[in-house]
Amino acid sequence: MQIISTIAEFQKWRRQVENVAFVPTMGNLHEGHLSLVREAKKNADAVVVSIFVNRIQFGEGEDFDQYPRTLQEDAEKLKEVGADIVFAPAEQELYPDGKQHYFIEPPLLQNDLCGKTRPGHFRGVATVVTKLFNIVQPDVACFGKKDYQQLVILTGMVRDLNMNIRIVPVAIERAEDGLALSSRNGYLSPEERCQAPELFQTLQTMATQMQQGHTDFIALEKMATSKLNQQGWQVDYIEIRQALTLAKAQKSDKNIVILAAAVLGRTRLIDNLEVHLLHA
């Protein structure tokens, strides 16, 4: 495995390789990222993993400066799981004069759900992913379903801009108690870590209620929100949406995703659960 830190050096390597599967990350890697790499390996001759903490997707007051930079540990994990190239550019490689001048502007979905409290976030994600796609020239790119809204936005971007890349969605990796793996779990205190699975449990309860025929989605969202708030969370949103478009789900929809974001202590966690309803 090779670690490459400049675009020029990467492009030299890229010319010799036919088929590339790409896993973009911001580093601080856990099992969830490694499952993306394992999936990527099934899809191409060579796997490129980028590690780049992307300033333009962080809002003011977000954790850009505190975001853990753990290149050495990350590289060891990636070597073990069989990545071929780690592309870890310095900031000035991607933003030579310190800022980005041209942006990819996602549609209105960027201001919904997580975008409501993180203005500009998905614009920053779509822009850096486009830059990385242009550098890496992948055939396939793997994204986790943990960041479900990000996955939907990037899938739409690739389709709408005719990018010749196949997006492979990868299932959420969970701890034994159900908590979705996330770099942010490391910010939880031991007590908060014990409480954190309540978020996924709430989604599971809602899914069961829907499978039992509850079709008043607004009531289900409200009940789940007030229960978590009573347990000491600060719920940002719990929403029942269409799985493909993230439009509000209707009673007749079959492919649904329940998405949630909530703050525990000072840590904002997100999770989601896909639900397939069998009604006629």
Identify which of residues 14 and 123 has a Cβ nearer to ligand PAF in the complex: 123
Identify which of residues 112 and 147 has a Cβ nearer to ligand PAF in the complex: 147
Instruction: Give the C-alpha separation, 123 to 127, whole Å.
Output: 6
Q: DSSP state, 236?
A: E
Question: What are the catalytic residues?
Answer: 33
Shortest Å distance, C-beta 89 to ligand PAF: 12
Shortest Å distance, C-beta 147 to ligand PAF: 5
Instruction: Give the C-alpha separation, 184 to 168, whole Å.
Output: 23
Contact between 114 and ligand PAF by CB under 6 A: the answer reads no
Q: Spell out, one character per residue from 147 to 166, where the chain touches ligand PAF: x when CB under 6 A holds, - when not.
A: x--x----------------
CB atoms within 10 A of CB 177: 11
The answer to whether 39 and 168 are in contact (CB under 8 A) is yes
Angle at 199 between CA 196 and CA 204, to 5 degrees: 135
Instruction: Give the C-alpha separation, 208 to 220, whole Å.
Output: 11
Contact between 275 and ligand PAF by CB under 6 A: the answer reads no
Shortest Å distance, C-beta 24 to ligand PAF: 4
| Contacts of 205 by beta carbon, 8 Å cutoff, 6+ apart | 224
Identify which of residues 180 and 249 has a Cβ nearer to ligand PAF in the complex: 180
Query: Which amino acid belongs to residue 85?
Result: I
Q: Spell out, one character per residue from 203 to 242, where the chain touches ligand PAF: x when CB under 6 A holds, - when not.
A: ----------------------------------------
Which among 21-29, 89-97, 103-111, 269-277 is the span making contact with ligand PAF, rule CB under 6 A? Answer: 21-29
DSSP letters, 216-237, are: -HHHHHHHHHHHHHHTT-EEEE
Identify which of residues 56 and 240 has a Cβ nearer to ligand PAF in the complex: 56
Contact between 78 and ligand PAF by CB under 6 A: the answer reads no
Instruction: Report how many helices (DSSP H) and strands (DSSP E) the chain contains, helices first.
Output: 10, 9
Identify which of residues 67 and 204 has a Cβ nearer to ligand PAF in the complex: 67
What element of type H or E holds 143? strand 140-144
Contact between 129 and ligand PAF by CB under 6 A: the answer reads yes
The answer to whether 238 and 202 are in contact (CB under 8 A) is yes
Contact between 57 and ligand PAF by CB under 6 A: the answer reads yes
Contact between 24 and ligand PAF by CB under 6 A: the answer reads yes
CB atoms within 10 A of CB 194: 12
**Of 26, 170, 240, 258, which one interacts with ligand PAF (CB under 6 A)?**
26
List residues binding ligand PAF (CB under 6 A): 24-26, 54, 57, 125, 128-129, 147, 150
